[in-house]
Amino acid sequence: MQEKSTLADRLSRFIPVFDWGRTYNRDALGNDMVAAVIVTIMLIPQSLAYALLAGLPAETGIYASIAPIVLYAVFGTSRALAVGPVAVVSLMTAAAIGNLAEPGSPELLVAAITLALISGLFLILLGVFRLGFLANFLSHPVIAGFITASGILIALSQLRHVLGISGGGANLPEQIGSLIENIGQINPATLVIGVGATAFLFWVRKGLMPLLLATGMNRKLAGVLAKAGPVAAVVVTTFAAWALDLNASHGVRVVGEVPQGLPPLTMPSFSADLWGTLIGSAVLISIIGFVESVSVAQTLAARKRQRIVPNQELIGLGAANVGAAFTGGYPVTGGFARSVVNFDAGAETPAAGAYTALGLLLAAMLLTPLIYHLPQATLAATIIVAVLSLVDLSILKKTWTYSRADFAAVSATIFLTLGFGVEIGVTAGVVLSILIHLYKSSRPHMAVVGRVPGTEHFRNVDRHAVETDSAILTLRVDESLYFANARYLEDKVYDMVAQRPGLEHFILMCPAVNEIDMSALESLEAINERLKALNVKFHLSEIKGPVMDRLKTCDFLTHLTGRVFLSQHQAICELAWDR
């Protein structure tokens, strides 16, 4: 019995379904089924809309929401995350494959599923080698700026469907130019449907729930009906387009024929040229998708004191994307809106996602003939309402007030994304964030400190009234020491010592130093030799254990002219006493 339990525990580390599956019960089943019904109702129009946003046939969105959800339920660690097509990844997919083939062509679909495969394999590789930390190079301001700019681009790209005109473009100037160029082609019937659906969906988001509650309706039922708002828009506009034959009589563009049946088995391309073209986009899509997904998963898990394993999330999302590649889908990730709906609807386990996949499978088999007359303007309205909630220009004011460096990163990300497209924007944001971090850490905050009278505490002489000794200088370094700031430390020490002719002891106080690399060690050795020549003893205080362990592996401490003190108070007391 013990052996079986141990085996299950081992398997659950890599296949989390063996963890939550062992305690699955009837109550969890009921809650998961209710959540699945609500999310399925929400996902049907949303999946169709996001597929069109990616430049793919509408049914691709349904296919991308079936096998990926099941695979994530098996390999993922979040109990509420809902995986599938999302707006930002759909936009990035369109940017990656848009120029590779004609819209609607088989070659374009092959490019999309190949992109999903590359993305999935990359995510799995990161998970296997526990490289999830690489996503940390995307700072929150960069992510916020990228999502805001992407939201603006997505909403603007859908205006042509609302207006019933031709157009396109990968960035803001191209999209605005295209809209202006084709503004004379506005289709009045399409405009009525698009504007009406957009207004209705905005009202549903804010006004329907309070209205239903005011009638005395149960909050849970009111929530379900409020989330079903997009479905109501789809049903009404589809019926109107069919009854009035708006496609033939008024030129209203509709979804058209959608294949009915199970998701197809598809084979990605293994062409070296295609992989070379897509791999850069796949990496960006993978990282952006992972950051968005794990952020949502951790937020929802924290509400129920559950645990998310980021590296296992990489494997779960990777498996989902590989599944999409072989079932006619395109890159997917965990979506914010659908995950929150899943959570609020009472989902207890990832099985809710599997039941959602079953609902979408039934929709693909039974309901697709009913959406032939669905106006594309309605799907565009669904996208616009969804993505505008992601736009947060207040991040510019927040970062300007708090950190000018972060403001530079977020504003550059927004403007480059709007001006040159999503890939250039997010790449520039990442590079700029890293450069800013390197610049800031290359000039770490350092402070000359003295003792607060009557205490054992030491504070910055420029901020507090402290006691100092003219023969003893203490410099506190508030950063780890490494190659980028080692020379800066040397210059700072030499300048300070040169200004104090009566100096006998120099103490480097290191409470914030978590690491000293080889370059920094050589700088410390140089400082030791320079101070020795000036008859100034070099001491260290408050060195952390792991740093001390590293220093003991070399001969630096042997040649140190001074001593290593456990605390700064001890250093001052003993050095002053010695004198």
For the chain, which residues make up each domain, given as ranges? 28-406, 446-578
CATH superfamily of 446-578: STAS domain (3.30.750.24)
Supply the pLDDT for residue 336.
79
**pLDDT score recorded for residue 40:** 86
Q: How far apart are CA 552 and CA 534, in angstroms?
A: 26
SS3 377: helix
Query: How far, in Å, CA of 508 to CA of 539, rounded?
Result: 6
How high is the pLDDT of residue 3?
Answer: 45
Looking at residue 11, its pLDDT comes to: 62
The radius of gyration of the chain's CA atoms, rounded to the nearest angstrom, is: 30
**b/e map 159-187, b = 16+ CB within 10 Å:** bbbbbbbebebbbbebbeebbeebeeeeb
* Cβ–Cβ under 8 Å, residues 61 and 243: no
Cβ–Cβ < 8 Å for 347, 80: yes
* φ, ψ for residue 527, nearest 5 deg: -65, -40
The span from the first CA to the last CA of the chain, in angstroms, equals 71
What is the helix, strand, coil percentage profile of the chain, to 5?
65, 5, 25
- Strand, helix or coil at 264? coil
And the tokens for 569? Answer: 């108070």
Q: What is the pLDDT of residue 13?
A: 66
Instruction: Specify which residues 506 forms β-bridges with.
Output: 473, 538
Structural tokens at position 542? 């408050």
What is the sign of the dihedral through the CA atoms of 143, 198, 95 and 186?
A: negative
Pairing of strands 446-451, 83-84: unpaired
Residue 579 CB: number of other CB atoms within 10 A? 10
10-residue mean pLDDT series, the chain (579 residues):
52 70 80 85 87 92 94 89 91 91 89 97 94 77 87 91 87 91 93 95 85 82 75 91 93 89 93 95 92 84 80 94 96 86 80 90 88 92 87 90 89 92 84 84 93 94 93 96 95 94 95 96 96 96 96 95 96 82
The set of residues, in sequence order, having a beta carbon less than 8 Å from that of 578 and lying 6+ positions away, is none
Q: How far apart are CA 319 and CA 37, in angstroms?
A: 24
pLDDT for position 5: 53
Q: Is 472 in contact with 505 (CB distance < 8 Å)?
A: yes
pLDDT at 12 (0 to 100): 64
Q: How far apart are CA 69 and CA 352, in angstroms?
A: 9
Residues whose CB is less than 8 angstroms from the CB of residue 322 and which lie 6 or more positions away in sequence, other chains included: 71, 116, 117, 120, 121, 124
Q: What is the pTM of this model?
A: 0.81
* pLDDT tens per residue, range 437-493: 888 889 999 999 999 999 999 999 999 999 999 999 999 999 999 999 999 999 999
DSSP string, 57-70: -HHHHHHTTTHHHH
- Nearest to 76, CA basis, from 334, 316, 335, 322: 316
Dmax over Cα atoms in the chain, in whole Å?
100
